[in-house]
Structure 1
Protein backbone atom coordinates (compact mmCIF):
# COMPACT_ATOMS: atom_id res chain seq x y z
CA UNK A 1 0.00 0.00 0.00
CA UNK A 2 1.51 3.37 -0.98
CA UNK A 3 2.02 5.79 1.84
CA UNK A 4 1.14 9.44 1.81
CA UNK A 5 4.03 11.72 1.08
CA UNK A 6 4.08 15.08 2.79
CA UNK A 7 4.31 17.97 0.36
CA UNK A 8 6.51 20.87 1.26
CA UNK A 9 6.93 24.26 -0.34
CA UNK A 10 9.71 22.86 -2.53
CA UNK A 11 7.51 20.12 -3.98
CA UNK A 12 4.14 21.81 -4.24
CA UNK A 13 2.80 23.16 -0.91
CA UNK A 14 1.79 26.79 -0.54
CA UNK A 15 4.69 29.14 0.06
CA UNK A 16 4.40 32.01 2.53
CA UNK A 17 4.14 34.40 -0.43
CA UNK A 18 1.28 32.36 -1.96
CA UNK A 19 -0.59 32.33 1.36
CA UNK A 20 -0.13 36.10 1.66
CA UNK A 21 -1.34 36.63 -1.92
CA UNK A 22 -4.50 34.60 -1.23
CA UNK A 23 -5.22 36.67 1.88
CA UNK A 24 -4.72 39.84 -0.16
CA UNK A 25 -7.12 38.54 -2.81
CA UNK A 26 -9.70 37.84 -0.12
CA UNK A 27 -9.36 41.43 1.09
CA UNK A 28 -9.77 42.69 -2.48
CA UNK A 29 -12.94 40.67 -2.93
CA UNK A 30 -14.37 42.05 0.32
CA UNK A 31 -13.66 45.56 -0.94
CA UNK A 32 -15.69 44.84 -4.09
CA UNK A 33 -18.92 44.69 -2.14
CA UNK A 34 -21.47 42.13 -0.96
CA UNK A 35 -20.91 39.51 -3.68
CA UNK A 36 -17.15 39.89 -3.45
CA UNK A 37 -17.31 39.73 0.33
CA UNK A 38 -19.18 36.42 0.19
CA UNK A 39 -16.56 34.96 -2.14
CA UNK A 40 -13.76 36.36 0.03
CA UNK A 41 -15.32 34.90 3.16
CA UNK A 42 -15.62 31.54 1.40
CA UNK A 43 -12.01 31.68 0.28
CA UNK A 44 -10.85 32.53 3.78
CA UNK A 45 -12.97 29.74 5.25
CA UNK A 46 -11.39 27.24 2.83
CA UNK A 47 -7.88 28.46 3.63
CA UNK A 48 -8.63 28.23 7.36
CA UNK A 49 -10.03 24.70 6.97
CA UNK A 50 -6.94 23.63 5.04
CA UNK A 51 -4.64 25.20 7.63
CA UNK A 52 -6.25 23.07 10.39
CA UNK A 53 -5.47 19.79 8.61
CA UNK A 54 -2.56 17.50 9.38
CA UNK A 55 0.53 18.01 7.22
CA UNK A 56 -0.18 15.28 4.65
CA UNK A 57 -3.83 16.20 4.23
CA UNK A 58 -2.99 19.91 4.14
CA UNK A 59 -0.47 19.35 1.34
CA UNK A 60 -3.06 17.46 -0.72
CA UNK A 61 -5.79 20.01 -0.03
CA UNK A 62 -3.52 22.86 -1.08
CA UNK A 63 -2.76 21.18 -4.40
CA UNK A 64 -6.46 20.43 -4.99
CA UNK A 65 -7.25 24.07 -4.21
CA UNK A 66 -4.68 25.31 -6.72
CA UNK A 67 -5.88 22.87 -9.40
CA UNK A 68 -9.53 23.84 -8.94
CA UNK A 69 -9.06 27.60 -8.72
CA UNK A 70 -6.66 27.67 -11.69
CA UNK A 71 -8.85 25.52 -13.93
CA UNK A 72 -12.35 26.45 -12.79
CA UNK A 73 -12.29 30.12 -11.75
CA UNK A 74 -16.07 30.22 -12.08
CA UNK A 75 -16.37 28.03 -8.98
CA UNK A 76 -16.50 29.79 -5.63
CA UNK A 77 -14.58 28.37 -2.70
CA UNK A 78 -16.57 27.74 0.46
CA UNK A 79 -16.68 25.23 3.25
CA UNK A 80 -19.24 22.46 3.27
CA UNK A 81 -19.60 20.45 6.47
CA UNK A 82 -16.27 22.02 7.43
CA UNK A 83 -14.52 20.73 4.30
CA UNK A 84 -13.04 22.77 1.44
CA UNK A 85 -15.60 22.85 -1.35
CA UNK A 86 -16.23 24.67 -4.61
CA UNK A 87 -19.68 25.82 -5.68
CA UNK A 88 -21.23 26.93 -8.95
CA UNK A 89 -23.05 30.21 -9.61
CA UNK A 90 -26.21 28.74 -8.04
CA UNK A 91 -24.18 28.16 -4.83
CA UNK A 92 -24.48 24.39 -5.28
CA UNK A 93 -21.40 22.42 -4.28
CA UNK A 94 -19.79 20.81 -7.30
CA UNK A 95 -16.82 19.22 -5.57
CA UNK A 96 -15.21 18.94 -2.16
CA UNK A 97 -12.06 17.69 -0.47
CA UNK A 98 -12.42 15.51 2.62
CA UNK A 99 -9.21 15.08 4.55
CA UNK A 100 -8.40 11.64 5.91
CA UNK A 101 -8.18 13.00 9.45
CA UNK A 102 -11.78 14.20 9.49
CA UNK A 103 -13.20 10.72 10.00
CA UNK A 104 -9.93 8.83 10.60
CA UNK A 105 -9.91 7.29 7.10
CA UNK A 106 -6.76 5.92 5.54
CA UNK A 107 -7.06 8.24 2.54
CA UNK A 108 -8.36 11.67 1.64
CA UNK A 109 -11.29 11.96 -0.74
CA UNK A 110 -12.03 14.17 -3.71
CA UNK A 111 -15.80 14.05 -4.04
CA UNK A 112 -18.34 15.37 -6.51
CA UNK A 113 -21.94 16.32 -5.82
CA UNK A 114 -24.93 16.10 -8.14
CA UNK A 115 -24.17 19.56 -9.57
CA UNK A 116 -21.12 17.99 -11.26
CA UNK A 117 -21.67 16.86 -14.83
CA UNK A 118 -19.98 13.48 -14.50
CA UNK A 119 -23.02 11.39 -15.44
CA UNK A 120 -22.11 8.37 -17.56
CA UNK A 121 -25.03 6.03 -18.11
CA UNK A 122 -26.55 4.39 -15.06
CA UNK A 123 -23.36 4.12 -12.98
CA UNK A 124 -20.43 6.50 -12.49
CA UNK A 125 -17.94 7.37 -9.74
CA UNK A 126 -18.61 10.38 -7.53
CA UNK A 127 -15.60 10.20 -5.22
CA UNK A 128 -11.95 9.33 -5.51
CA UNK A 129 -9.41 8.21 -2.91
CA UNK A 130 -6.43 10.54 -2.90
CA UNK A 131 -3.18 9.49 -1.18
CA UNK A 132 -0.48 11.57 -2.79
CA UNK A 133 -0.10 14.33 -5.36
CA UNK A 134 1.80 13.43 -8.49
CA UNK A 135 1.80 14.92 -11.99
CA UNK A 136 -0.46 12.07 -13.10
CA UNK A 137 -2.91 12.72 -10.24
CA UNK A 138 -2.88 16.43 -11.02
CA UNK A 139 -3.82 15.75 -14.65
CA UNK A 140 -6.63 13.43 -13.55
CA UNK A 141 -8.01 15.96 -11.05
CA UNK A 142 -7.92 18.75 -13.62
CA UNK A 143 -9.71 16.52 -16.16
CA UNK A 144 -12.40 15.64 -13.59
CA UNK A 145 -12.91 19.28 -12.63
CA UNK A 146 -13.24 20.31 -16.27
CA UNK A 147 -15.63 17.41 -16.97
CA UNK A 148 -17.71 18.34 -13.93
CA UNK A 149 -18.25 21.79 -15.44
CA UNK A 150 -18.90 20.69 -19.02
Structure 2
Protein backbone atom coordinates (compact mmCIF):
# COMPACT_ATOMS: atom_id res chain seq x y z
CA UNK A 1 0.00 0.00 0.00
CA UNK A 2 2.85 2.33 -0.81
CA UNK A 3 1.85 5.95 -1.20
CA UNK A 4 -1.50 5.54 0.56
CA UNK A 5 -0.43 6.05 4.15
CA UNK A 6 -2.34 8.72 6.00
CA UNK A 7 -0.36 10.91 8.32
CA UNK A 8 -1.51 10.53 11.89
CA UNK A 9 -1.77 13.50 14.17
CA UNK A 10 0.70 12.95 16.96
CA UNK A 11 -0.41 15.95 19.04
CA UNK A 12 -3.85 17.42 19.53
CA UNK A 13 -4.50 21.09 18.75
CA UNK A 14 -4.54 21.81 22.50
CA UNK A 15 -1.17 20.10 22.97
CA UNK A 16 0.33 22.04 20.07
CA UNK A 17 -1.03 25.26 21.56
CA UNK A 18 0.52 24.38 24.93
CA UNK A 19 3.90 23.84 23.25
CA UNK A 20 3.59 27.21 21.51
CA UNK A 21 2.73 28.82 24.85
CA UNK A 22 5.85 27.27 26.37
CA UNK A 23 7.94 28.68 23.54
CA UNK A 24 6.57 32.17 24.16
CA UNK A 25 7.18 31.79 27.91
CA UNK A 26 10.81 30.81 27.31
CA UNK A 27 11.34 33.78 25.00
CA UNK A 28 10.03 36.18 27.66
CA UNK A 29 12.40 34.69 30.22
CA UNK A 30 13.09 37.00 33.15
CA UNK A 31 11.23 39.83 31.43
CA UNK A 32 7.93 38.04 32.02
CA UNK A 33 5.42 39.45 34.48
CA UNK A 34 4.41 36.12 35.98
CA UNK A 35 1.43 37.38 37.93
CA UNK A 36 0.02 39.31 34.96
CA UNK A 37 0.57 36.34 32.65
CA UNK A 38 -1.11 33.95 35.10
CA UNK A 39 -4.09 36.26 35.63
CA UNK A 40 -4.48 36.76 31.87
CA UNK A 41 -4.66 32.98 31.35
CA UNK A 42 -7.15 32.66 34.21
CA UNK A 43 -9.32 35.39 32.65
CA UNK A 44 -9.57 33.32 29.43
CA UNK A 45 -11.04 30.32 31.28
CA UNK A 46 -14.66 29.28 31.59
CA UNK A 47 -16.38 30.53 34.72
CA UNK A 48 -16.07 27.22 36.60
CA UNK A 49 -12.37 26.81 35.75
CA UNK A 50 -11.73 30.48 36.51
CA UNK A 51 -13.33 30.20 39.97
CA UNK A 52 -11.11 27.25 40.84
CA UNK A 53 -7.96 28.90 39.44
CA UNK A 54 -8.60 32.15 41.30
CA UNK A 55 -9.10 30.31 44.59
CA UNK A 56 -5.99 28.19 44.04
CA UNK A 57 -3.98 31.33 43.32
CA UNK A 58 -5.17 32.83 46.60
CA UNK A 59 -4.34 29.60 48.46
CA UNK A 60 -0.81 29.56 47.05
CA UNK A 61 -0.28 33.21 47.99
CA UNK A 62 -1.56 32.54 51.52
CA UNK A 63 0.21 29.24 52.19
CA UNK A 64 3.32 29.30 50.00
CA UNK A 65 4.10 33.02 49.59
CA UNK A 66 7.66 32.32 48.43
CA UNK A 67 6.34 30.72 45.24
CA UNK A 68 6.15 33.00 42.21
CA UNK A 69 3.18 32.94 39.85
CA UNK A 70 3.89 32.25 36.21
CA UNK A 71 2.48 30.36 33.27
CA UNK A 72 3.74 26.94 32.30
CA UNK A 73 2.68 25.54 28.94
CA UNK A 74 -0.03 28.20 29.02
CA UNK A 75 -1.35 27.06 32.40
CA UNK A 76 -1.24 28.82 35.78
CA UNK A 77 1.75 27.63 37.79
CA UNK A 78 3.80 28.62 40.79
CA UNK A 79 7.59 28.30 40.90
CA UNK A 80 10.32 28.29 43.52
CA UNK A 81 13.20 30.79 43.69
CA UNK A 82 15.16 28.73 41.15
CA UNK A 83 12.27 29.05 38.68
CA UNK A 84 11.23 25.39 38.94
CA UNK A 85 7.48 24.82 38.85
CA UNK A 86 6.30 23.41 42.17
CA UNK A 87 2.57 23.27 41.43
CA UNK A 88 0.23 23.96 38.53
CA UNK A 89 -3.42 24.10 37.54
CA UNK A 90 -4.84 22.53 34.39
CA UNK A 91 -8.28 23.87 33.51
CA UNK A 92 -10.84 21.32 32.38
CA UNK A 93 -11.27 23.37 29.22
CA UNK A 94 -7.57 23.24 28.37
CA UNK A 95 -7.73 19.69 27.04
CA UNK A 96 -11.53 19.22 26.99
CA UNK A 97 -11.40 17.11 30.14
CA UNK A 98 -14.35 16.41 32.40
CA UNK A 99 -12.45 17.86 35.35
CA UNK A 100 -9.70 20.34 36.10
CA UNK A 101 -6.58 19.24 37.96
CA UNK A 102 -4.15 20.66 40.46
CA UNK A 103 -0.75 19.02 40.52
CA UNK A 104 2.71 19.12 42.01
CA UNK A 105 6.03 18.51 40.28
CA UNK A 106 8.92 16.53 41.73
CA UNK A 107 10.49 19.57 43.43
CA UNK A 108 7.51 19.64 45.81
CA UNK A 109 8.46 18.08 49.12
CA UNK A 110 5.46 15.77 49.33
CA UNK A 111 7.30 12.48 49.74
CA UNK A 112 5.35 10.14 52.02
CA UNK A 113 6.66 6.58 52.04
CA UNK A 114 7.05 4.92 48.65
CA UNK A 115 3.78 6.11 47.02
CA UNK A 116 1.99 9.47 47.29
CA UNK A 117 -0.43 11.49 45.16
CA UNK A 118 0.90 14.39 43.11
CA UNK A 119 -2.21 15.47 41.21
CA UNK A 120 -5.84 15.91 42.10
CA UNK A 121 -8.97 16.05 39.98
CA UNK A 122 -10.99 19.17 40.82
CA UNK A 123 -14.60 19.90 39.94
CA UNK A 124 -15.05 22.55 42.64
CA UNK A 125 -13.34 23.49 45.88
CA UNK A 126 -14.99 22.98 49.26
CA UNK A 127 -13.63 24.34 52.54
CA UNK A 128 -12.29 20.86 53.34
CA UNK A 129 -10.57 20.71 49.93
CA UNK A 130 -9.00 24.12 50.50
CA UNK A 131 -7.73 23.05 53.91
CA UNK A 132 -6.16 19.91 52.42
CA UNK A 133 -4.55 21.87 49.56
CA UNK A 134 -3.27 24.52 51.98
CA UNK A 135 -1.56 21.78 54.00
CA UNK A 136 -0.03 20.26 50.87
CA UNK A 137 1.24 23.66 49.74
CA UNK A 138 2.94 24.27 53.08
CA UNK A 139 4.47 20.79 52.95
CA UNK A 140 5.55 21.22 49.32
CA UNK A 141 7.68 24.24 50.12
CA UNK A 142 8.61 23.21 53.68
Under TM normalisation by the shorter chain, which class is it? 0.7 to 0.9
| Structure 2: stretches of 5+ with no match in the other structure | 1-29
Partner of 1:26: none
For residue 94 of structure 2, give the secondary structure of its aligned residue in structure 1.
coil
Deviation at 1:49, TM superposition (A): 0.6
Aligned length, in residue pairs: 113
Partner of 2:117: 125
Deviation at 1:120, TM superposition (A): 1.4
For residue 101 of structure 1, give the secondary structure of its aligned residue in structure 2.
helix
1:18-97 residue pairs with structure 2 within 5 A?
38=32, 41-97=33-89
Alignment deviations for residues 92-118 of structure 1 (CA, whole Å, 9 cap, x no partner) = 000000000111111110000011001
For residue 60 of structure 1, give the secondary structure of its aligned residue in structure 2.
helix
| Structure 1: stretches of 5+ with no match in the other structure | 1-34
Question: Radius of gyration: which is bigger?
Answer: 2
Distance across 1 between alignment mates of 2:140 and 2:62: 15
Partner of 1:146: 138
Deviation at 1:121, TM superposition (A): 2.0
TM-score (norm 2): 0.76
Deviation at 1:53, TM superposition (A): 0.4
Deviation at 1:119, TM superposition (A): 1.0
Question: Post-superposition, which runs of at least 4 consecutive aligned residues in structure 1 deviate over 3 A?
Answer: none
Partner of 1:113: 105
Deviation at 1:68, TM superposition (A): 0.4
